[in-house]
Structure 1
Amino acid sequence: MRIGVLVLPADPWPESLALARRIEEMGYDHLWTYDHLSWRRYRDKTWHAAIPWLTGVAAHTSRIRLGTMVSSPNFRHPVTLAKEAMTLDHISDGRLTLGIGAGGIGFDATVLGGQVLTPGERARRLDEFVGHLDALLSEPATSRVGDFYTVDEARMIPGSVQRPRVPLAVAAGGPKTMKTVIRYADAWITEGDEAKIRTNAALMDESGRTMDRILLVDNGDDRPLASVDAFTDLVGRYAELGFTDLVFHHPRPDDPVWTDDPAMVEKIATEVLPSLRG
C-alpha cells in the first residue's frame, strides 16, 4: 500500500514548502491539499489556492506525486480546470493526480452567487463535470454541451505528460457517484464510515473495473495516528478491501481535530513505510 499526506494550504509559503520537501524526503508516496476557496473553521484564516500551491511544491520536489483533494464543480469550470491540470502536469513532469468531487453545500457553493444544489443534482453535475474533463484531457480539441457546462472548441495543446491523460481520482460515497467512478475514473477516493465503504467497495468489485482505491483517513474513534500499531492496523484492514493508497492529514497543533503528535509522521515513515515496501 502507498501512503500519502494531506497538508492544508493554510500556512505561510516558506513553512508549507519546507514541510512538503520533508514529506518527500521521508519517503511518502504522494502529497495532497484541499481545493477550496475557503474551508470550514479556516474561513477567516490564511488559506491559499490549491493549484498555485501545488505548482510551487512541484517546482521544488522531484519524486513525490501531487494531488487535489478534491477539486470541486462548485467554483470551477471543466475547461479552465483541465488547462490548469495539463500545465501542472508539465511543471511536475507527470506527477499530478487530479482529485475531483461533487462539491458540498458550504462556502464554495454560494461564493459565486449560485444556488445550492440537491444531492441528486450534485451527483448529476459531477458525472457531467468528470465526463468533460475526461474528454478535454484526452483530446487536443473538444466540444460538448451538457446540462451544467458547455465546451465550445476548447484546445488542450500540447496535452498531458501522462498518457492517455492526467489520472482522474473521483471521490464517491454513494451509488450515484460510484457510477461516475466506475465509468470514468482511474482511482476512487473515499472516507468516512467503514461499513459504507465496504458496501461501495463491493460495488466496485461487482463492476469488474480495476483501479486504485484511495482512503482519506478521518480522525474518528480509531485515532489511527495515536500509535504505530493503530496505523498499521488500519492499513491492514483496508488492504483487505483492496485499497491501494491511504492518505492522512498532517497533524496541526492549532486545529481541534488533527491533534496528534506531528512526530508520528516521522515514526510512520521510519517504522511503517519500509515494511510496506517489502
Structure 2
Amino acid sequence: MPAPHNPFKAAITSGKPQLGCWLGLADSYAAEISAGAGFDWLLIDAEHAPNDLRSIIRQLQVISAFDSHAVVRPTIGESWMIKQLLDAGAQTLLVPMVESAAQARDPVRAVTYPPHGIRGVGSALARASSFAAISDYLTTAQNEICLLVQVENNAGMEALDDILMVEGIDGVFIGPSDLAADMGFIGNAGAPEVEKTVLDAMRRIVAAGKAGGILTLNADMQKACLDIGATFVATEIDVTLFASAMRAEAARARKMLGDGRQE
C-alpha cells in the first residue's frame, strides 16, 4: 500500500488553481468548521499562531475528514521541526523566510529519506504511515510530499531565480507583508512598489515552471496573481474574519441601546 495521494500537489503541479484560507486560531474546532467551508486548502500556521505539535496534529486529524487539504507552516525551516511535522502526517509544508538557494536546499534534504536526504526513518511510530499500516510508506512517501518555500524579503527576491532552480521545490510563495516591511512600506502591502515587485516575482515563478502562491486579502491582487498563473492563493484569515465579524456585531448591538456607547 503506497502513501496517501496528495491532491493539492497534483493540482498545483498540473496548473489547477487552489484557493485557501489561513488558520491562526490554533483550534481544532475552528479548523473543523473551516474544513467544511469549501476551501481547497487550509494553512495551519506555526510561525505567527500559537500552535505546537499537538495542536497541529489535532487540526490535521479534523481536516482529514474533509476535502480541504492541510498545509503546515513550521515556525522556521529547521530539520527537526520538519521531521516531526512529516511524521505527524503533514504532506505539504510551507517553509518561511527562505533567502537563498542554499537555504532552500535544506528543507529538500529534510523531507527526503537517505541516501539522498536526512529525514529520519521512524515511520513505524508515525501517524504518517498509519502507524505502520501503510506497508510501502518509506518507498512512496516522497512522491506525495509537497514542499513550498516562502520568499518574503529583499534578499529572497534577489535570490529568487537561484531558488527556482533548486530541485525538489514544488512551489514558491510570496509573502507581501514582510516584503513590504523590508522595502520600507511596513503595514502597507498594497503600496504600488510592493505590488509591482510581487507580480514580477509571480511571473518569474510561473515562467520557471514552479507553482506560485500568495496570501492577500485584496481581491484585485488575488485576481491579478491568478491571471498570471498562480496556483495556490489564500484569500482569507480565520483570525481576522472572526475578529472583524465580532467587532461589527458588537457595534451593531450597541447602537440598539442608544446610550452613546457605540464606537
Q: 1:57 offset after TM fit, Å?
A: 1.3
Q: CA distance change for structure 1 residues 177 and 210 in 2, over 3 Å: closer, same or farther?
A: closer
Question: RMSD in angstroms over aligned alpha carbons?
Answer: 3.2
Tell me what 2:36 maps to. 25
Per the normalisation by structure 1, the TM-score is 0.58
Q: Aligned to 1:250, which of 238, 243, 248?
A: 238
2: distance between equivalents of 1:142 and 1:169?
Answer: 19
State the Cα deviation string for residues 1-42 of structure 1 (Å, max 9, x = none): 3221112145xxxxx222111111111111113223xx5xx8
Q: CA distance change for structure 1 residues 205 and 24 in 2, over 3 Å: closer, same or farther?
A: closer
2: distance between equivalents of 1:67 and 1:60?
Answer: 13
Partners of 1:138 and 1:165 within 8 A in 2: no
Helix, strand or coil for the counterpart of 1:98? strand
Tell me what 2:149 maps to. 170
State the Cα deviation string for residues 16-75 of structure 1 (Å, max 9, x = none): 222111111111111113223xx5xx8xxxx232x43221112223232112235414xx
Q: Aligned to 1:186, which of 147, 170, 175?
A: 170
Q: CA distance change for structure 1 residues 155 and 211 in 2, over 3 Å: closer, same or farther?
A: same
2: distance between equivalents of 1:205 and 1:4?
Answer: 19
Count of residues in correspondence between the two structures: 193
Amino acid at match of 1:83: K
2: distance between equivalents of 1:56 and 1:33?
Answer: 11
Partners of 1:86 and 1:156 within 8 A in 2: no
Q: CA distance change for structure 1 residues 128 and 85 in 2, over 3 Å: closer, same or farther?
A: farther
2: distance between equivalents of 1:32 and 1:55?
Answer: 13
Partners of 1:136 and 1:156 within 8 A in 2: no
2: distance between equivalents of 1:134 and 1:238?
Answer: 26
State the Cα deviation string for residues 152-187 of structure 1 (Å, max 9, x = none): x95465548644252111111412145224414201
Partners of 1:214 and 1:246 within 8 A in 2: yes
Give 5+ residue unaligned stretches, structure 2: 1-16, 124-136, 177-193, 247-263
Amino acid at match of 1:179: D
Tell me what 1:7 maps to. 23
Helix, strand or coil for the counterpart of 1:210? coil
Helix, strand or coil for the counterpart of 2:229? coil
Partners of 2:216 and 2:222 within 8 A in 1: no
Partners of 2:40 and 2:68 within 8 A in 1: yes
Partners of 1:30 and 1:64 within 8 A in 2: yes
Per the normalisation by structure 2, the TM-score is 0.61
Q: CA distance change for structure 1 residues 261 and 2 in 2, over 3 Å: closer, same or farther?
A: farther
1: distance between equivalents of 2:144 and 2:82?
Answer: 10
Amino acid at match of 2:162: K
Tell me what 1:52 maps to. 54
Q: CA distance change for structure 1 residues 252 and 198 in 2, over 3 Å: closer, same or farther?
A: closer
Q: CA distance change for structure 1 residues 252 and 101 in 2, over 3 Å: closer, same or farther?
A: closer
1: distance between equivalents of 2:161 and 2:85?
Answer: 23
State the Cα deviation string for residues 196-247 of structure 1 (Å, max 9, x = none): 11221232245xx3232111115xxxxx3xxxxxx3x443222111111211
Divergent runs of 4+, >6 A: none
1: distance between equivalents of 2:162 and 2:54?
Answer: 31
Q: CA distance change for structure 1 residues 35 and 48 in 2, over 3 Å: closer, same or farther?
A: closer
Give 5+ residue unaligned stretches, structure 1: 11-15, 104-122, 144-150, 219-223, 225-230, 263-278
1: distance between equivalents of 2:74 and 2:198?
Answer: 18
Tell me what 1:65 maps to. 69
Q: 1:133 offset after TM fit, Å?
A: 2.7
Q: Aligned to 2:223, which of 222, 229, 236?
A: 236
State the Cα deviation string for residues 120-147 of structure 1 (Å, max 9, x = none): xxx24xx44432332342333457xxxx
Tell me what 1:134 maps to. 108
Identical amino acids, percent of aligned pairs: 9
Q: 1:251 offset after TM fit, Å?
A: 3.9
Amino acid at match of 1:197: V
